[in-house]
Amino acid sequence: MNVDQTISALAALPVGDRLRVVHAIWDTLPDDVDVSVTPKQQAELDRRLAAHRDDPSTAISHDELMRRVENRR
């Protein structure tokens, strides 16, 4: 199976299983791999953080996030 076939097969998995795969792959990356963000990504992160600081009530808990992910199955 090649990479494209593997990706297609993984895309067919339920969301929870795909998240497990993402975590498993992430855990295999070496500690010295460059995971820096682009300037555009950093700007979006800054925007979201500012929005949260302006109105923290819009945030949801980790438990709520996981409940929503599981309900998307």
Per-residue model confidence as pLDDT tens digits over 32-57: 999 899 999 999 999 999 999 999 99
What are the pLDDT digits (tens) for 4-40?
999 999 999 998 899 999 999 999 999 999 989 999 9
Q: Work out whether the CA dihedral 25, 26, 30, 36 comes out positive or negative.
A: positive
- Which residue type, as a one-letter code, is found at position 41? Q
Instruction: Give me the torsion for CA of 3, 7, 20, 65, rounded to 10°.
Output: 140
Stated pTM of the model? 0.53
The pLDDT-based confidence of 72 (bands split at 50, 70, 90) is: confident
Q: Please list, in sequence order, all residues whose beta carbon lies within 8 angstroms of the beta carbon of residue 10, skipping any fewer than 6 positions away.
A: 18, 21
Q: Please list, in sequence order, all residues whose beta carbon lies within 8 angstroms of the beta carbon of residue 45, skipping any fewer than 6 positions away.
A: 37
